[in-house]
Structure 1
């Protein structure tokens, strides 16, 4: 059943997941699930507007303090808020503070828009996921509580086994591929009550497991190119998004460019 036949404005709030990494376009920019969703919403009728305030690397305190007030002032039909996962991946995290920032953001956004959407984020299967799983699940429990309290939709990406498949994750093991983002866009589309176009939870075809030498080579490449720089930023308090502006800072017309 459709909740709203004509969503005419959409604001996305969050970090690299919502910015669209690693769905890379030929011009070097990132697309991602939010752009894909905006594109599909824009095709439903004229006058659609879209803003994406997400910036890679942002913690939930920054999202709540910098992005949520701007998004609330836009009064959009749909607002998506995805944040807190970067906090759980830090060496130390105060989950009480994470909860407080999430409560602040949700309490501000929920009454300011037509429909607030929260998400249980996906995680790539592997040892890193297992290490941080308790923190992630604590974060998701907070989101479930807030969604129920404020009438927000909660899209359960974490509960879809296919989104843990390593084949849907980029070589950095932190961000989804184009196919992963496409499935997330479909999940949010369906959560908004719009007609399904595919089963976004459908598993990928069986894969032939790579041999031990191939896995070790891939692990070493990943550590050199992605893991060590990531650890360096954590130790020095830097972020990959330092100094970067929001992806689409204003709520402006978005004409349905058929990105998908």
Structure 2
């Protein structure tokens, strides 16, 4: 699409795409997809945007629940970001996860949609107790790149930038980006899409900060286990998900400033043909 003048943008994914860590369920979630929609609207004020993501979803659920509704919206741009929830499962299968992603890549691109995705940073550099997951992340990222290449999908390489593992980009749970993290992700996607005024500034490191001593660092780990890892494991053991009972926050294609619940049928959305 010349100069990034997209008309219909649909976001598929899990909690990161929904926007957890950037706002809350009271004031509303923003997140990288909303921020990218803002950047796209600056180029084309006629943009309509839908966000089908639901927290807690694994890649297979994203494909099963969100792909058909996304195709029905006939987007000319889609972001597909999923797989982190799979990485955390004991029975992780990189080939299976990448297969679900590739099915979405294939179906969307076959419908004429420009698809954008990203690679995942090393979680062990954000949460030291997650270091055993590093081989999984490397494997999944390699498969994402291969699948993307087969279908002409654009990849924002957030995995390769050291700043993406700076704790200041993440919330206290270390699983969700904070406002600054979502801002950087949106900028990475905007650069990958070659939107005007976006370059590699999102890769620049933050100012140096003091490194905590060993005792303080150990205390941080204990608090993280008690406050976040423990409850997460408890939900897994009970077969529960943070997304149980939830639906997409923005299921209809609407101009960015419209309330998310406004029915699409009451708007005239420009055709992309």
Q: By the TM > 0.5 criterion, same fold?
A: yes
Q: Is the 8 A contact 2:11 2:50 kept in 1?
A: yes
Query: Which shifted more, 187-196 or 20-29?
Result: 20-29
| Kept after mapping to 2: 8 A contact 1:39/1:256 | no
Q: Secondary structure at the match of 1:208?
A: coil
Query: For residues 216 and 129 of structure 1, what CA distance do their matches in structure 2 show?
Result: 14
Count how many residue pairs are aligned between Structure 1 and Structure 2. 256
State the partner residue of 2:270. none
Tell me which residue corresponds to 1:240: 242
Distance of 1:187 and 1:89 partners within structure 2: 24
Check whether the contact 1:43–1:256 (CA below 8 A) recurs between aligned residues: no
Name the CA distance, whole Å, in 1 between partners of 2:19 and 2:137. 20
- Worse overlay, 56-65 or 20-29: 20-29
1:10 counterpart SS class: strand
2:168 touches 2:180 (CA, 8 Å); kept in 1?
A: no
In structure 2, C-alpha distance between the alignment counterparts of 1:131 and 1:162, rounded to whole Å: 21
Provide the rounded CA distance (Å) in 2 between the counterparts of 1:60 and 1:5: 27
Q: Deviations over 1:91-135 (max 9, x none)?
A: 112333223322222211122243101110234414244211111
Q: Structure 1 residues 26, 205: CA separation in 2 closer, same or farther (over 3 Å shift)?
A: farther
The correspondence of residues 177-188 of structure 1 with structure 2, limited to 5 A, is 177-188=178-189
Aligned pairs (5 A) from 1:1-260: 3-24=2-23, 27-124=26-123, 125=125, 126-197=127-198, 199-255=201-257
For the 8 Å contact 1:10–1:50, the answer to whether it is kept is yes
The TM-score, its normalising length taken from structure 2, stands at 0.87
CA distance in 1, matches of 2:150, 2:206: 35
- Contact kept? 1:189, 1:196, Cα under 8 Å: no
Is contact 2:76-2:114 (8 Å) kept? yes
Q: Structure 1's 186 and 9: CA in aligned 2 closer, same or farther, altered over 3 A? A: same
CA RMSD after TM alignment: 2.0
Find the counterpart in structure 1 of residue 262 from structure 2.
none
User: Given the superposition, is the C-alpha separation of residues 71 and 133 from structure 1 closer, same or farther in structure 2, using an over 3 Å criterion?
Assistant: same
* 8 Å CA contact retained: 2:95, 2:143: no
Which residues of structure 1 form unaligned runs of 5+?
A: none
Question: What's the TM-score, normalizing by structure 1?
Answer: 0.91
| Structure 1 runs (4+) greater than 4 angstroms displaced | none
Alpha-carbon offset, residue 26 of structure 1: 9.1
The structure-2 alpha-carbon separation of the partners of 1:113 and 1:95, relative to structure 1 and needing over 3 Å to count, comes to: same
Q: CA deviation at 1:176?
A: 0.9
Q: Quote how far apart the aligned CAs of 1:205 are.
A: 0.9
Residue 76 of structure 1: how far off its partner (Å): 1.2
Is the CA contact 1:8–1:42 (under 8 Å) kept in the aligned structure 2?
no
